[in-house]
Each structure stands twice: as structure tokens, then as C-alpha cells.
Structure 1
Amino acid sequence: MQPEFCTLPWQGGSVHIELAWVGVDDAAAPLMVFLHEGLGSLAAWRDTPEKLCAACGWRGLVYSRPGYGGSTPRPHAQAWPLDYLQRQAWELLPALLQALGVQGRYGLFGHSDGGTIALLHAARHPLTHSVIVLAPHIMVEEFGLASIREARRQYLEGDLRSRLARYHADVDSAFWGWNEAWLHPDFGSALSLGAISLELKHIRAPILAIQGQEDPYGTMAQIDGIAAILPATELLKLPRCGHAPHRDQPQRLTEACQAFSRRCLPPLPPQRDLP
């Protein structure tokens, strides 16, 4: 992906957002916005957006949130607010779409934190035509917090910092923003099932929710909880799959996205020869 940059007002200043357009070069094709995980970025997606867009006939918008990838880093003395997922969904993403001149309907493809952002955004933005979420979080589970604590240990003592550094201009900005927010004792009140339920019930777009059965960051309660609020949600539970279905089960994910798109999105109009 060849990145470009967009400047947005944000939190009393401005931020540069790293982004790329991928997929079908046709304005009539469905637009899908890709929202990365808590330690992800545009580069960390690797070729997943291009492959999915090619397989499903989508245009794709991929970007790094502030603090990640090549976007403006988080000031090291500044902690993410505990409602950072809500702010990304309700403030940053709408501002980015407006700045890029996106008009009409669009879909959301979110992984982990990005899945939560996708759900929260769709709840308040009826132009969302579809939502695909991989390993989303709608509540804090002790099961997942144990893995986040282990990630902290691996970052300080193992090779996690060096592995992440290839995807972020400021790797400490990316890691500590995410890790410290999630491990804050009050984070569970910001990401509680009760609070998220009040939002999710307003989603009108079709949802495909996918979870790996070996995900160390969340149990099936996450996507089962979405279906309990929105019974029309399509669930896909993948065996032999961890936290990243697009890496662990790429073929199965692609097939599920293709079928979901055929059911939920209008096909491209046929091309006509000019007279």
C-alpha cells in the first residue's frame, strides 16, 4: 500500500493521518473502511485489505489512527482517555471521512479495538451499509487482561518491541497508549457490556462477527454478546484460530466476507460500451 497523509484537527491541535486507498478503482464499488487492532497500523495489515477488496469487489480505505504507524505519535506524557474507543468512533473517524470527501454509504471492517470502533461508529452513523468485525471487544474480560499483562512483559523483557517497531514510527506511542488504557483499573467502566449495549441496539446495518476459538484476548462471549443484542448478527466461530483470523484463517475469512457481501451489498452495475 502506498500511503498518503491527511491533516485533521484533533484534541485542540492537529494530527497527520497515514492512509491508503486500495481495491477496485470504481466509484460505484462499495467502500469498506479498515480499522486496525490496538497494536496495528496501515502497514501491520500487510496485504489483507488488498486481497479482501479484490475478492469482494470493494474499494478500501485503510488508515493508521493517531499514535500508530506513520500517523502523528501520541505525546509520551499523554495517556489515552479511557473512552478512547468511543472518541475514535464518534470524533476521529467522522472527521476523517469528511476531510476525504467521502459521501454516501460505506462499510466498516474492524479488528479487535478496530472492531469495537466499527460497532460504536455504526450505532450513530446510519450511512454505514455493513459491519464486519474480527475479535471485537464489547466488554472487558479477565481472560483477556491476563494476555494484555503478558504482552506488557514481552514488550519489556522479550522481542515484542522489536517486532512491533517495523510497523510504527514511534513504537512506544503505540504500545503504551493501548496497554496502559486497557490495564487501567477504571477501563472496565468505559468498556462495559451495559454501556456498549445501549449503543449497539441502534445499529441497523447487517453485521458479520468473527472470533477465533483460540483467541487469547477474548472469549466467544464477545460475539455472542453482540448477537444477544442484535439477533440478526451472523456469527462465525473459527477453530484453530487465534486473535487474527485474517492471518490464521485467511481463506475461510475471505469466503465468509464474499458470501456476506453477496447477501448484503448491491452488485456493481454492468459496464456499458460507449456508443
Structure 2
Amino acid sequence: MTVTELDVPLRDGGSLHAYDTGPDAASPLTLVWHHGSPQTGAPLEPVLAAASARGIRLVSYGRPSYGGSTPRPGRDVASAAADVAAIADALGVERFAVMGASGGGPHALACAALLPERVTGAVTLAGIAPRTDAYDWFAGMTAPGGLRAAVDGRAARAAFAADAEFDPSQFLPVDWAALDERWASLGADAARAGEAGPDGLIDDDVAFTSRWGFDLGRIVAPVLLVQGEGDRVVPSKHASWLVAHIPRASLWMRLDDGHVSVLDVVPDAMEWLLERR
């Protein structure tokens, strides 16, 4: 599958670096992929393969400060909707589905809530929920330090990033196996994003722990939430809370999966979107 890269100009003078597998009159669906935190936005090999096998046009992009996209400190989760609309307009795409993994989950939901005439369906995989006092939002996170710091604002989150180190115990053995084999491209891409600096991840975490800027109850499109029961990065309670607050949501709880291995559901999730386009 051929992938074209493009820079999409925005009204504020910035731009978003995007990727597109191209138009095809026979394509049954255009899918906008929302990457995790941190990633560059470049399409991952298993996602490309699953889309190609189904004739799906795949579009992805780097959120501000990721993968060549212009920084935008202070962005909220809701801003992803206008960003995706700008990319879709530039590509001549009117209607599309959205799918987000991990940190991409909230941004996919933003598109579903704020672009109701354009989004046909949404999928989140290991997606975080809005911060709430309804339950212990941090419970079950092996390494919540970055998110805890983000509650106190961008400066506090940036200070935490100066000395932060990745805690490998966040991932289950099945996650490491996935990264060693079928999802090796994810690990490599995360490393590239990390080498470019922490700004994208800092801004993501601040956005996640702040008001998202939209109401989950406004989502009219069907939503599929996929969650690993053993996830130590985004605990399963987040998915349970989301399914109770999104009108047309369904939940696939994967009992043996963690934060990365749950991505093996991508082909099935694409089939789910195709059935609802």
C-alpha cells in the first residue's frame, strides 16, 4: 500500500504532518487513525496491513509537537476535531470513521462528539477516560507520575519529564511479546517520537488531565471500546466508565491482554466499523 505524506496548513499559521494511502473509488471506508502517546503519527505496519486487506483508505497524522506537526502548547482534547476536519477537507474526504489507540482514544472520541455529520463510527483501544472524582482515576496505573504531575499544569509536567524514565513493569509479558514481534513498528516509532523531545507527550498528558472540551453524551455515532483486563497503563475501570457515559457504546473486554497486545483486535475493529459505515 502506497503512503503519501503531506503537510496540512491550519488557520493559526501552523501545520499538521499527515499520511494518506490515497483515494480509491472502490474503497468502502476512510479511516482516520489517532496515534498513542508518544508516537510520530506515521502509520504502523499492522494497521496498514489490516486496512489494505479490507480496501480501507487509511489516514493518520501527528498531533501538534509530534512527527513534524507544529507545536501548540495548551491544546485540549477537543482541538483534535478541528485538526482532523482540516486534514479531511484537504484530502477531499467528507465522511470517515476514527480509531484511536491509548492516547489516541480521547482524540478519536472528540471527533465523534464534535463532527457528528462526518464520523460514521469510532473505536478506542486501551483509551483513557476523562479525569473524574467518581472513582480513583489513577488506581491500577503502574507509573502514574506523569499524569499526576500534569494535574498541576504544563510546567509541572515538563519538570517531571526532565528526569522521567520508562517503567518496564507497565507492560505485561504479552505486551513485550507483541512489541518484539507483530507490533515492533510501534516500539520503533515510539522511540523516534521520544528522540524528538517530550513536548508532544507533555501536552497530551496535560490535555488528558484537564477538561476535554466536549460532552461524551453528545456522541451519536456507534462507539466500540476495546480494553485489556490486565492493562497497567490505562486500567480497565476507564473503559467501564466510558461505556456507561457514551450513548451508543459497546465494550470488548479482553481478559488476557495488556496495553499493547490488545492492539491485535485492530482487524476485527475495522470489520466492526465497516458494518456500521
* TM-score, normalisation: structure 1: 0.72
In the other structure, the counterpart of 2:109 is 119
In the other structure, the counterpart of 2:55 is 57
Maintained 8 Å contact 2:229/2:253: yes
In the other structure, the counterpart of 1:84 is 76
Alpha-carbon deviation of 1:203? 1.5
Once the two structures are superposed, residues 109-137 of structure 1 have per-residue CA deviations (whole angstroms, 9 ceiling, x without a partner) of 11123211111221121221111111222
In the other structure, the counterpart of 2:273 is 261
Of structures 1 and 2, the larger Rg is shown by 1
Alpha-carbon deviation of 1:189? 4.7
Higher relative contact order (CA 8 A, sep 6+): 2
Residue 256 and residue 110 in structure 1: after superposition, are their counterparts in 2 closer, same or farther (change >3 A)? closer
Maintained 8 Å contact 2:7/2:18: yes
The amino acid of 2:192's aligned partner reads R
Long gaps (5+) in structure 1? 266-275
Alpha-carbon deviation of 1:61? 0.5
Q: Distance in 1 between matches of 2:67 and 2:119?
A: 25
Q: Distance in 2 between matches of 1:139 and 1:250?
A: 21
SS of the residue 1:32 aligns to: strand
SS of the residue 2:198 aligns to: helix
Q: 2:139 aligns with which of 116, 138, 143?
A: 143
Tell me whether 1:68 sits opposite 2:59 in the alignment: no
Q: 2:238 aligns with which of 216, 222, 238?
A: 222
Q: Distance in 1 between matches of 2:46 and 2:162?
A: 25
Alpha-carbon deviation of 1:138? 2.5
Q: Distance in 2 between matches of 1:203 and 1:31?
A: 19
In the other structure, the counterpart of 2:153 is none
Alpha-carbon deviation of 1:55? 3.7
In the other structure, the counterpart of 1:172 is 198
SS of the residue 2:77 aligns to: helix
Residue 13 and residue 236 in structure 1: after superposition, are their counterparts in 2 closer, same or farther (change >3 A)? same
In the other structure, the counterpart of 2:211 is 190
Counting aligned pairs with the same residue, the percent is: 24
In the other structure, the counterpart of 1:29 is 28
Maintained 8 Å contact 2:51/2:270: no
* TM-score, normalisation: structure 2: 0.72
Segment drifting more, 105-114 vs 218-227: 218-227
In the other structure, the counterpart of 1:268 is none
Once the two structures are superposed, residues 227-249 of structure 1 have per-residue CA deviations (whole angstroms, 9 ceiling, x without a partner) of 223354221111232223xxx14
The amino acid of 1:263's aligned partner reads E
In the other structure, the counterpart of 1:205 is 221
Maintained 8 Å contact 1:64/1:71: yes
Q: Distance in 1 between matches of 2:269 and 2:7?
A: 32
Aligned residues: 239
1:229-248 equivalent positions in 2, closer than 5 A: 229-230=245-246, 232-244=248-260, 248=261
SS of the residue 1:175 aligns to: helix
SS of the residue 1:143 aligns to: coil
Long gaps (5+) in structure 2? 132-136, 148-156, 168-186
Alpha-carbon deviation of 1:218? 2.2
The amino acid of 1:35's aligned partner reads H
Once superposed, which parts of structure 1, at least 4 consecutive aligned residues long, lie more than 6 Å away? 150-155
Alpha-carbon deviation of 1:172? 2.9
Q: Distance in 2 between matches of 1:100 and 1:23?
A: 9
Q: Distance in 2 between matches of 1:24 and 1:55?
A: 15
Q: Distance in 1 between matches of 2:23 and 2:68?
A: 24
Once the two structures are superposed, residues 22-48 of structure 1 have per-residue CA deviations (whole angstroms, 9 ceiling, x without a partner) of 3884454211000112212223x5213
